[in-house]
Structure 1
Amino acid sequence: MGKPYILIQEDEIFEIKIQGRKLYLESQRNVFFVDDINSVWYRRGGIYFLRKLYDHPSINIHMNEAEHWLEDYVMHILEAKKHINKQRNSHVNKLLVLEKARKTGLDVPAFYLAENTDDVKLGKTITKSITGNVMLELLDSESDGMMYTSVIDKKNIEDFFISFFQEKIEKDFEIRSFYLNGRIWSMAIFSQNDEQTRTDFRKYNMENPNRNIRYQLPDHVEEKVIRLMQALDLNCGSLDFIKSGSNYYFLEVNPVGQFGNISFDCNYMLEKEIAEYL
């Protein structure tokens, strides 16, 4: 849209410098005055800073603390600008999100934590990561593996690390919604028609893709989504729902979630919405 912009990569290391009482950041790739920035879009990664090393351990500890607070000051200045998401709260606690979603009135499938499958209802319980998307490096493969949502169909003999279990909801279809500053764009995903994507639509079937269409969440659900995002101090993110009968079950929110497929499949032109907001 004709605006000058700076793209910061994950491998950039910035030094905080000052010129004429004005702070500026400098890396091998970019240099800019903090006050000259009008808006910030935090997508992924972050701004990382170079810290100097000193010979004396006590000086090193003191200067590390001083540099920490200087970095904190710079981040506060940047996040006080008009922004989409913040580096500070880009990772949310899924368990706390579900608790807050309940408090806003959203329907949430029953969930619990356990270190064994003694009380699991086979075929009626799913398990997924407590964290966000987990990528595993497979030792016997050149590719990585992803931890998907899975239905528990047999019990484990041994205990394991505390894991997340949730009631399996029989779905009519799934919904992915993109949220930006009080506005919501949604897409219905007919994943239940394909055995490969029935439990987790992220197991994409490239040969026979799910049908995705525009969808409008009911007003009362959208109002609760807005309250949830405000409670989480998030002004952008992707949210997942299951439609089952007349109920809309909230699953999770990803502050830096994918929106490209919603934009493309539903012709929402979200990239333009983002650009105009910034």
Structure 2
Amino acid sequence: MILIISGNKEITTTEVIKWLLRMGKNFIRVYEDEIFEIKTKEKKIYLESYRNSFFIDDITSVWYRRGKLKFKRLRYANESINHSMNEYQHWLEDYIKKTLESKKHINKESNSDVNKLLVLEQARKVGLDIPEYFLASNTDQVVLGKTIIKTIGGNPRVEAISKDSSGMMYTTVINEFEKEDFYITFFQEKIEKDFEIRSFYLNGKIWSTAIFSQNDEQTKIDFRKYNNKKPNRNVPYTLPKNIERKVHRLMLSLDLNCGSLDFIKSGNKYYFLEVNTVGQFLGLSVICNYSLEKEIADYL
């Protein structure tokens, strides 16, 4: 039995499930609004929600796509008992999650949020080129027009201030100094690019796509500012073998067996930017005819 932990309206998950159905495989899709009760049957741990129920021993492989496995906790009127029971229930939940992660899997809930600073340090250790970066609480050391600002975390979203705004925090070039200090922020050298590369990694295999975003003012700094009227040209691409080997070493060092990695091609160099464990890859899979949804289904 395959266990899939995903968002309620996550299209990529649905496309993988279509392949599983075609293959005749049994699976359970756990949605983000599901809450499981932990039970026992026949001396085995059994999970049950309003939609699904299964023995954890029956799960053979797990795909952590998004969301998390949630549990209903028992509560007692006596706060002393309640505190102790919360601790006991935590350890049982931890056992269940670790048991599921020990099975054949694609990604894990426990390390789905990678730390960009640690990732960049590891990338440098395995020999990948990365743009120079620094942390600062002011713009005193910034070279205007040649420094960008990015989030330290993944891709946080803020509430959109208008219907025409997505609320996405995009990469931005610093063109003026700030008068006051602010919270410690991630600054990075702006690399003049030939094009961008998005690579999808799965258990040692890599599929890459060249994204010609630099030809459009709207997308030249951050290709996620999609121009729907005139989309960027995307074509299949193959990274040099020495870069692919370094990517493999990086993913092993991060204990990740799946993810989307971003690069900038500039002259003879390939600059590594980041890895997103739950990044979108469906669009590029379709454009490049990679059938990554089938690759995931085959692996599961």
The TM-score range, normalised by the shorter chain, is over 0.9
Q: Find the partner of 1:168 among 162, 180, 190.
A: 190
| Structure 1 gap segments, 5+ residues each | none
Q: Find the partner of 1:137 among 154, 159, 162.
A: 159
Tell me the residue number matched to 1:221.
243
Q: Is 1:146 paired with 2:168?
A: yes
What is the RMSD of the two structures over their aligned residues, measured on CA atoms? 1.0
TM-superposed CA distance for 1:58, in Å, is: 1.3
Give me the whole-angstrom Cα distance separating, in 2, the residues matched to 1:261 and 1:228: 25
Give me the whole-angstrom Cα distance separating, in 2, the residues matched to 1:234 and 1:217: 19
Structure-to-structure mapping, 1:18-29, within 5 angstroms: 18-29=40-51
Q: Deviations over 1:205-240 (max 9, x none)?
A: 000000000000000000000000000000000000
Tell me the secondary structure at the aligned position of residue 109 of structure 2: coil
Q: Give, as a single letter, the amino acid of the residue that structure 1 aligns with 2:220.
A: R
Q: Find the partner of 2:143 among 85, 106, 121.
A: 121
Tell me the residue number matched to 2:100.
78
Q: Give, as a single letter, the amino acid of the residue that structure 2 aligns with 1:227.
A: R
Give me the whole-angstrom Cα distance separating, in 2, the residues matched to 1:173 and 1:18: 55
Structure-to-structure mapping, 1:37-48, within 5 angstroms: 37-48=59-70
Give me the whole-angstrom Cα distance separating, in 2, the residues matched to 1:17 and 1:144: 42
Q: Deviations over 1:252-273 (max 9, x none)?
A: 0001111112211100000010
Q: Give, as a single letter, the amino acid of the residue that structure 1 aligns with 2:247.
A: V
Q: Find the partner of 1:254 among 271, 276, 283.
A: 276
Question: What is the count of residue pairs matched by the alignment?
Answer: 278
Tell me the residue number matched to 1:57.
79
Q: Quick check: 2:39–2:48 contact (8 Å CA) kept in 1? A: yes
Q: Deviations over 1:4-62 (max 9, x none)?
A: 11110111100110011111100111111111111110000010011111111111111
Give me the whole-angstrom Cα distance separating, in 1, the residues matched to 2:243 and 2:279: 20
Q: Quick check: 2:209–2:236 contact (8 Å CA) kept in 1? A: yes
Q: Is 1:189 paired with 2:214?
A: no
Tell me the residue number matched to 1:276.
298
Give me the whole-angstrom Cα distance separating, in 2, the residues matched to 1:223 and 1:138: 40
User: Residue 142 and residue 8 in structure 1: after superposition, are their counterparts in 2 closer, same or farther (change >3 A)?
Assistant: farther
% of aligned pairs identical? 67
Q: Deviations over 1:142-192 (max 9, x none)?
A: 864111000001111111111100000000000000000000000000000
Tell me the residue number matched to 2:121.
99
| Structure 2 gap segments, 5+ residues each | 1-22
Tell me the residue number matched to 1:34.
56
TM-superposed CA distance for 1:200, in Å, is: 0.2
Give me the whole-angstrom Cα distance separating, in 2, the residues matched to 1:198 and 1:138: 22
Displacement over 6 Å in runs of 4+: none
TM-score (norm 1): 0.98
Q: Give, as a single letter, the amino acid of the residue that structure 1 aligns with 2:196.
A: E
User: Residue 143 and residue 205 in structure 1: after superposition, are their counterparts in 2 closer, same or farther (change >3 A)?
Assistant: closer
Q: Give, as a single letter, the amino acid of the residue that structure 2 aligns with 1:201.
A: F
